Amino acid sequence: MVKFKVKPSQKENWRYIAFELVSNANFTDKDIVRAITGANLRLYGEVGTSGENLWLIEYNADKKSGIIRCSHKTQQKVIAALTIITKINEQDVVFNILGVSGTIKKTKEKYF
């Protein structure tokens, strides 16, 4: 079996976006993923969305806050897509971007 080594220069650099939801309604993590994916598809299409490598790392329904992982090259596109989300499950909502960091640990320390 052949093992491939990936050089550090070939690895993907991630950015972690901390956000909070401003809304009276409660949402599940599936609702959040559906809303983010839908907004990205509307704004950038399937090809643009696939290059962002989006992933919901963590969502706290009690505090209505979470962390999204994306490629470092597309962080501005992801933030733009988050700001156009105004409704989830027919409930008014605003995504408040708290900040961006390069590691999950630093994101939690700075913004939560």
Burial of 108 (0-12, 13-18, 19+ CB in 10 A): middle
pLDDT at 5: 84
Tokens of 18: 């901390």
- Farthest CA pair distance, the chain: 54
pLDDT at 32: 96
Q: How far is CA 16 from CA 26, 33, 66, 90, in A?
A: 23, 15, 10, 27
pLDDT at 4: 80
The amino acid sitting at 58 is: E
CA dihedral over 95, 100, 101, 103, signed as positive or negative:
positive
pLDDT at 109: 96
pLDDT at 9: 80
pLDDT at 107: 96
What is the pLDDT tens value at each position of the chain, 112 positions in all?
788 888 888 888 999 999 999 999 999 999 999 999 999 999 999 999 988 899 999 999 999 999 999 999 999 999 999 999 999 999 999 999 999 999 999 999 999 9
pLDDT at 1: 75
